């Protein structure tokens, strides 16, 4: 089974050494989409990040419990709902585990040291790196290709080909 890797080189500006970070992927399209997400973040910034999901129906929460209860009641017969859900949930504490886990998750956690918090502050907009003209031109071309219905693999003309066969030697 083929294995694909996204290799990212980080150059140390002082020494010139390159640190390679390897991100394994199960397919070429996943590796390319990983790079595309990184590229969009570098080009657009934090606006490219997806918005935070609501934690309302997070597994283990009380609303998630009631969502499961209602769906079990709709999808199964009354006897199965009573015997298969209500009895089991009653003996397992009903929503008590949800409240306990919520209480544990909301307890104060150990704080980071002040040095780490200071280092982790976001940079001012003036300090952000500006995308090069070549990157902006390439991005505009890729967006045009997307509008035509192409994907990144079509745009870069990546073909999934057969592995190279061993050359045959004619014994004549």
pLDDT in tens, 158-172: 655 555 555 555 555
Cα angle, residue 33 at apex, residues 31 and 35 outer, rounded to 5°: 70
Domain ranges of the chain: 56-120
- Quick: pLDDT tens for 125-154: 888 888 889 888 988 988 898 899 888 778
- What is the CA 103 to chain-centroid distance, rounded? 28
Q: What angle do CA 20, 49, 111 make, to 5 degrees?
A: 80
Q: pTM higher than 0.75, yes or no? A: no
């Amino acid at each position: 089974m083929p294995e694909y890797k996204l290799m990212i080189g980080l150059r140390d500006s002082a020494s010139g050494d390159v640190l390679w970070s390897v991100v394994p992927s199960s397919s070429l399209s996943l590796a390319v989409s990983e790079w595309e997400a990184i590229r969009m973040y570098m080009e657009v910034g934090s606006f490219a990040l997806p918005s935070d999901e609501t934690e309302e129906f997070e597994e283990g929460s009380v609303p998630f419990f009631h969502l499961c209860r209602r769906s079990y009641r709709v999808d199964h017969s009354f006897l199965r709902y009573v015997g298969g859900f209500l009895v089991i949930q009653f003996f397992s504490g009903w929503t008590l585990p949800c409240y306990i886990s919520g209480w544990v998750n909301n307890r104060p956690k150990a704080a980071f040291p002040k040095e780490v918090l200071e280092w982790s502050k976001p940079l001012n907009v003036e300090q952000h790196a500006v995308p090069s003209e070549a990157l902006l031109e390439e991005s505009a071309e890729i967006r045009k290709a997307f509008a035509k219905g192409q994907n990144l693999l079509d745009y870069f003309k990546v073909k999934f080909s057969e592995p190279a066969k061993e050359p045959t030697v004619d014994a004549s």
